[in-house]
Amino acid sequence: MKHIITLFIVSLIITSCGEDKKQSVENIVEKGTLEEIRLKRGEIVAKQQEIAEQLKQLDQRIAVLDTTKKVPLITTFTATQSVFNHYLELQGSVSTKNNLVIFPEYSGILTRVYVKEGQKVKKGQTLAKIDDGGMSQQLAQAEIQTNLAKTTFERQQRLWNQKIGSEIQYLQAKSNYEAQVQAVNQIKQQIGKTIVRAPFSGTIDDVITEQGSVVGAGQSQLIRIVNLDDMYIETDVPERYITNVTENKNVEVEFPILGKTMNAKVRQAGDFINPANRTFKVEIAVPNKDRSIKPNLTAKLKINDYTNETALLIPQSIISENAEGEQYIYLVRNKNNSNEGIAERVIIETGKTQGDVIEVLKGIENGAEIIQEGARSVKNGQTVKVLDI
């Protein structure tokens, strides 16, 4: 409206003097002397100054009367205390304590394999048998000798109880019997090593050595057995988080391959700092009722390392920085009934970030009205108008 009025007045003034000016200038340029031309130019300059002064007066009056003057349009939000959880994002690998490759304790021919891949077994169940190389026959002979030694000892003991015979005969019979018992037990232990048993309940994941192969004690891999009930994720955490990442901290676990997310807790936080990479080990137990989680599966972890129950959060996008490196934002003060107020710049101190929000530690109070849209285009002390959205 202001610009329309101004243009209209200027047009009238220019039109009113335009025709005389045009003819006078033409006549003087064509027929006038140098003195007359200079005189005419002075008259036009004087009129120009007069018109400029009149326009200035009109603009001043319009500024007073115009109720629709332009002010920056902004949006705001109110700072409200809320719970702020910060998460440390890491990557880990799934492990299990019950993932074992079984080695034989006895050397010989693997005569029998009683299980197949995918079969469920119980703790102590026989998995395979190794040829004992004649140990069974030795055991039979030793048991015969033991029975004879036992009979001899029992008879000598009865005689000794009746005060018949010498003490040395009694002690020799006793010693011979005990030695035979120990020999039998030793042979039984050796034979027991020829039987491969399940160390825990689980599933046969792989039969590595086929039946009929020659195996060596502690050298040949026989069978891999896995139990998927007690699964956990292991990861390395930087040492600066050693006071924040502790036992029972909440963890959000994501398995990208499975498209699965679950909540868990830190089961164990290590006390040893690895000098090579300045990290410590953390274990997170994960439930696996459907047995979909496998060993060595990659997992993304979000460990809750910091919580503020009364945090003031603002978008990072509204924060600016001055030449001294201080961060600042704009508040709206003294807002009237027309939603117009004054933009005030305030210096803030920030804390941790999460996503696109940041925690404000100092500079604003709960309930402060903060400029959001238009925050980077306003100036300190400028009048602004808040849009209702």
Residuewise pLDDT in 10s, the chain (389 residues): 444 444 444 454 444 444 444 456 788 877 778 888 888 888 888 889 899 888 888 877 776 666 555 788 899 999 999 999 999 999 999 998 888 999 999 999 999 999 999 899 999 999 999 998 888 898 899 999 999 999 998 888 888 888 887 888 889 989 999 999 999 999 999 988 999 999 999 899 999 999 999 999 989 999 999 988 888 999 999 999 999 899 999 999 999 999 999 999 999 999 899 999 999 999 999 988 888 898 899 999 999 989 999 999 999 999 999 999 999 999 999 888 888 899 999 999 999 998 899 999 999 999 999 999 988 888 998 889 898 86
- CB burial of 254-290 (b: ≥16 within 10 Å; e: otherwise) equals ebeeeeeeeebebeebeeeeeeeeebbebbbebebee
CATH fold of the domain at 73-84+309-386: 2.40.420
Region of 45 please: left (phi>0), alpha (psi -120 to 50) or beta.
alpha
Nearest to 332 by CA among 341, 323, 324, 320: 341
Round to whole Å and give the CA distance between 73 and 57: 28
Distance CA 37, CA 70 (A): 45
Rounded CA separation 31/28 (Å): 5
Cβ 228 vs Cβ 201: under 8 Å = no
- Give the span between the Cα atoms of 293 and 262, in whole angstroms: 12
For residue 140, what are the CA distances in angstroms to 28, 100, 147, 188?
Answer: 148, 35, 11, 10
Looking at residue 63, what is its pLDDT?
A: 64
pLDDT of residue 17: 44
**Predicted local distance difference test score (pLDDT) of residue 71:** 81
Residue 161 is predicted with a pLDDT of 85
165 Rama sector, left if φ>0, alpha if ψ -120 to 50, beta otherwise = left
Q: How many C-beta atoms surround the C-beta of residue 196 within 10 A?
A: 25
Which H, E and C letters describe 304-331, residue by residue?
Answer: EEEEEEEEEEEEHHHCEECCCCCEEEEE
Helix (H, G, I), strand (E, B) or coil at 180: helix
Residue 224 tokens read as 């891999």
- Is 90 in contact with 201 (CB distance < 8 Å)? no
87 contacts: CB under 8 Å, gap ≥ 6: 252, 302, 303, 304, 305, 354
Domain 89-97+226-308, classified CATH 2.40.30.170, yes or no: yes
CATH classification number, 132-193, choose in 2.60.40, 1.10.3470, 1.10.287, 1.20.1450: 1.10.287
